[in-house]
Structure 1
Amino acid sequence: MEVNLNYRLGKLKKMGLLRGVWLDCGCADGGYTEALVAWGAARAIGIDPEQSRIDQANLRKQENEATSGRRPGLTEYHCSTDNFPLSDASVDAALMNEVLEHVSDETATLREIRRVLRPGGHIVVISPNRWFPFEGHGMQFLGRDFGFPVPVLPWLPSAWSSRVMAARNYWPHELREVVAAAGFEIELVDYVLPVFEYYRWLPKSAISAYRRMMPLIEKTPLRKFGVSTLVLARRPLEGADR
């Protein structure tokens, strides 16, 4: 996970976003929440709907503070779905890293994030890209759960594939439209390349060579086939808000 985390947060760092108070929506065990602070955020708030993950995040926080001497209070965690225990306009930025595809109501979740974002604050949504030829969440078919990456599935017609996918998958324009429909102004649509941390069947030498080429691939049309789409948007300023 470290390679992927560094790569993804590196993108946000280059955009100049890692400052102020961040909301990590769908924080799981808090790995990205803590990393947001380590990479420059003043504070980070993690929210996840599963209490067991929040318990893991709090335990992780306690252990890290005990071993590193990091100041307490830089991260905090809450269990919630689409009703965050946060005041209006109380965070500077929000991250949804491979989360939107799992929520029951995309619009409700995005609008709740919009509520807690200050005017002009940014949201970063990273979700599966249908141009990537493997469905990493697997699929459910004929009563069986196929958890491994399923080839070609994202390229099949949505009318069929959506019925067997374990999570939603978006064409880049679809993800952009979902975020915009929740009242955000789109600033950038980018792609996130795979780093192959979980594809153990690939030769290590091939993975190492590929990772060295990633900066070059990022500059070519091949980036379109990245594993995920990244949408950067912001809550409109007062007066432009709707």
Structure 2
Amino acid sequence: MTTGDGTLQRFYEDPGVPLSSGAGRARRQLRMVEAVLAEADHPQVIVDVGCGDGAATRLVRRLGHTVVGVDWSMTALRTARRHDLLLIRGGLDAPGLPLADGSVDLVIFSEVIEHLVDTDSAVDELHRVLRPGGRLLLSTPNLAAWYNRGLLALGVQPIFSEVSMRGVYGRPGHQVAGHLRMFTKRALTEFLTARGFVCEHVDGAPSHVVPGVLRPLDRLLCRWPSAASILLVQARRPDRP
């Protein structure tokens, strides 16, 4: 959601670039949101930043709160409109999200941060729009996933990582995902803390890219988030600076 010189904008407007990581990710986001809303005592304002095709946004809307999907890709927003959602076009670089300071109770930021050039300014923007005490639900592929550790030992480029926007080189797979930043659990929690968040907990999740025969192992290793395929972070903007 940071466009840089326009290369990323063109990439994400390409109809061939996937807008969603699938139904499994949408259901996972829903479960995370439900856990946070179980503590809520009033209607919430929820913003799905980088909503893509709106699949997860649609599921969250069914919970009965005010839900807004945000993306700067018109291709994504045209697809999301099929779900009759409240949508806003906006990005995380200047001038930022078209939302007032402290106006949001919960931000969903699912598998977006790895696509950004300026992660610092982006997360600062999420901090700005959250009210004090508001929650950030962030997910991202894990650079230190169990299979990436083995691949690196063999001299193979880690899964999820990219060296080019035009092709896949040195790693399994064939789809260019546009991943610019990759995090380990430690790097992600330190980064969010430096940007003013309190990391309440980190969980692991499996990935759809893992071959079927290895998925039981992938699910088992979710118990060890540092080695899981996907990192799931629940963070909070402190009540006081």
Please indicate, yes or no, whether the TM-score normalized by the shorter chain is above 0.5: yes
Determine the structure 2 residue equivalent to 1:7: 28
In structure 2, what is the Cα distance between the partners aligned to 1:226 and 1:128?
9
1:101 equivalent among 114, 117, 141: 114
Determine the structure 2 residue equivalent to 1:66: none
Pick closer, same or farther for the CA change 1:192–1:149 going to 2, 3 Å.
Answer: farther
Question: Counterparts in 2 of 1:50-69, with a 5 A limit?
Answer: 50-58=73-81, 60-62=82-84
Determine the structure 2 residue equivalent to 1:87: 100
Determine the structure 2 residue equivalent to 1:156: none
Pick closer, same or farther for the CA change 1:129–1:144 going to 2, 3 Å.
Answer: same
| Residues 109-132 of structure 1 deviation map (CA, whole Å, 9 limit, x = unaligned) | 111111111110000111111221
Determine the structure 1 residue equivalent to 2:227: 225
8 A contact 2:71–2:90 mirrored in 1? yes
Determine the structure 1 residue equivalent to 2:6: none
8 A contact 2:114–2:179 mirrored in 1? no
8 A contact 1:100–1:127 mirrored in 2? yes
Does structure 1 residue 210 correspond to structure 2 residue 216? yes
In structure 1, what is the Cα distance between the partners aligned to 2:166 and 2:61?
41
Amino acid of the structure 1 residue aligned with 2:232: L
Pick closer, same or farther for the CA change 1:140–1:45 going to 2, 3 Å.
Answer: same
Please report the RMSD computed on the Cα atoms of aligned residues, expressed in angstroms. 2.9
Does structure 1 residue 146 correspond to structure 2 residue 163? no
Does structure 1 residue 169 correspond to structure 2 residue 182? yes
Pick closer, same or farther for the CA change 1:144–1:116 going to 2, 3 Å.
Answer: closer
1:7 partner SS: helix
Question: Counterparts in 2 of 1:22-61, with a 5 A limit?
Answer: 22-38=46-62, 40=63, 42-58=65-81, 60-61=82-83
In structure 1, what is the Cα distance between the partners aligned to 2:121 and 2:199?
18
Determine the structure 1 residue equivalent to 2:130: 117
In structure 2, what is the Cα distance between the partners aligned to 1:9 and 1:17?
15
Amino acid of the structure 1 residue aligned with 2:70: I
Pick closer, same or farther for the CA change 1:181–1:138 going to 2, 3 Å.
Answer: closer
Pick closer, same or farther for the CA change 1:11–1:86 going to 2, 3 Å.
Answer: closer
In structure 1, what is the Cα distance between the partners aligned to 2:32 and 2:186?
20
In structure 2, what is the Cα distance between the partners aligned to 1:90 and 1:193?
32
Pick closer, same or farther for the CA change 1:125–1:166 going to 2, 3 Å.
Answer: closer
8 A contact 1:176–1:186 mirrored in 2? yes
Pick closer, same or farther for the CA change 1:166–1:4 going to 2, 3 Å.
Answer: closer
1 or 2, which has the higher strand percentage?
Answer: 1
In structure 1, what is the Cα distance between the partners aligned to 2:88 and 2:133?
24
Amino acid of the structure 2 residue aligned with 1:227: S
| Unaligned runs of at least 5 residues, structure 1 | 63-74, 152-164
Kindly name which structure, 1 or 2, has the bigger radius of gyration based on alpha carbons.
1
| Residues 175-211 of structure 1 deviation map (CA, whole Å, 9 limit, x = unaligned) | 11221121111211221222x2x55xx45xx47x839
8 A contact 2:144–2:226 mirrored in 1? yes
